Amino acid sequence: MAGGKAVAKKATAKKVTAAKVTAKKAATKKTTGNQTAVKKTAAVKKATVAPKKASAAVQGAPAAKAVAAPPKGESQTALVRRARRINRELAEVYPYAHPELDFENPFQLVVATVLSAQTTDLRVNQTTPALFAKYPTPEDLAAANPEEVEEILRPTGFFRAKTKSVIGLSKALVEQFGGEVPGRLEDLVKLPGVGRKTAFVVLGNAFGRPGITVDTHFQRLVRRWQWTAETDPDKIEAAVGALFPKSDWTDLSHHVIWHGRRICHARKPACGACPIAPLCPAYGEGETDPEKARKLLKYEKGGFPGQRLNPPQSYLDAGGRAAPPLGAG
Ligand code: SF4
């Protein structure tokens, strides 16, 4: 565990450096052009009390005492521009953002996603190798002895309910879809235990079809950013979908979820170390002192900086690293 912590600390330092680089780039962009964009988002900037430059948010901005005011009167065009800029900034901070569940095919992804409820992706990644070694296909899992599956799934919590779900899901795949995971939303949501969120994870990451994953992080962040006031996941999905081209949806979901897991936490957002503070109307909701904020940066359960034990090559090429191997944390 100690090794894992050291590694996580290192990752944090690296992330802050990445944030600084991003902030610098953002500041350069501001001074070298794009005056129109600056003008049009003036209403947003005036309303916030975040530091003017993202670098200031990381390096030593004065602490904001109150929660920043909302961007009153922001037009739809200004909102679209601000939302897309946040996504671009996050893409620079998390160039390797990706689904954090290990999978080799759509069946593994749909099962892993169902198992990820109420636990970390790292825990799921530590559990699924044994599951898929014993039950590599929907047919195998459909015919499994539930008690044996429960034993494997025990570490993920709610293991009896999850066993029922994945066996039921596998049976449905065998009986209704010839043992294949369907690639259409309307079919996926008919599978037991699969809602729109899981369906979009599968469509976006196993089939390359654009989808917005409205999980708990996504809901919290888009409300903090005032992209939408909706609270119903389907309405959030529609409102946010309207701000971005479809082709951005899957990556946008990863960026937002990664930011929620790493910096913009539910209870203690690290505003003082946040690279998108100048664009965020909720700046000040969390710790604004840069030193204190930096201490809040964390990665779930030692994932460094992601949670995959077997990440794809593209993730490693972009600077991502595998999580510590099983038993290391
Ligand atoms: S940590 Fe969250 S709330 Fe704070 S400035 Fe960043 S995005 Fe906004």
Provide the 10 A C-beta neighbour count for residue 2: 7
pLDDT above 80 (res 238) = yes
pLDDT of residue 259: 93
Which one is predicted more confidently, 249 or 27?
A: 249
Counted domains in the chain: 2
Residue 266 banded pLDDT, cuts 50, 70, 90: very high
Claim to verify: residue 12 and residue 92 sit in the same structural domain: yes
**What is the mean predicted confidence (pLDDT) over 268-286?**
95
Claim to verify: residue 52 and residue 131 sit in the same structural domain: no
Task: Note whether residue 120 is domain-resident.
Answer: yes
Claim to verify: residue 116 and residue 177 sit in the same structural domain: yes
Cα 108 to Cα 116: distance, rounded to the nearest angstrom: 12
Cα 169 to Cα 241: distance, rounded to the nearest angstrom: 28
- For residues 224 and 264, is the Cβ–Cβ distance under 8 A? yes
pLDDT of residue 32: 34
- 197 catalytic? Reply is yes
Task: Note whether residue 128 is domain-resident.
Answer: yes
| Ligand 1 atom at shortest distance from the alpha carbon of 280 | 8
Distance of CA 121 from the midpoint of ligand 1 (Å): 23
pLDDT of residue 50: 54
Cα 204 to Cα 212: distance, rounded to the nearest angstrom: 8
Task: Decide which of 162, 193, 224 is a domain's last residue.
Answer: 193
Best of 58, 274, 279 to mutate for ligand 1, by most ligand atoms within 8 A of CB?
274
| List 15, 53, 162, 197, catalytic entry | 197
Sign of CA dihedral 263, 269, 271, 273: negative
| Ligand 1 atom at shortest distance from the alpha carbon of 259 | 7
pLDDT of residue 252: 96
Claim to verify: residue 50 and residue 77 sit in the same structural domain: yes
Task: Note whether residue 208 is domain-resident.
Answer: no
- For residues 20 and 57, is the Cβ–Cβ distance under 8 A? no
pLDDT above 70 (res 31) = no
Ligand 1 site residues (CB inside 6 A) read 224, 263-264, 269-271, 274, 276-277, 280, 282-283, 285-286
- 301 catalytic? Reply is no
pLDDT of residue 62: 30
Domain assignment of residue 256, given as a range: 2-98+247-317
Task: Note whether residue 228 is domain-resident.
Answer: no
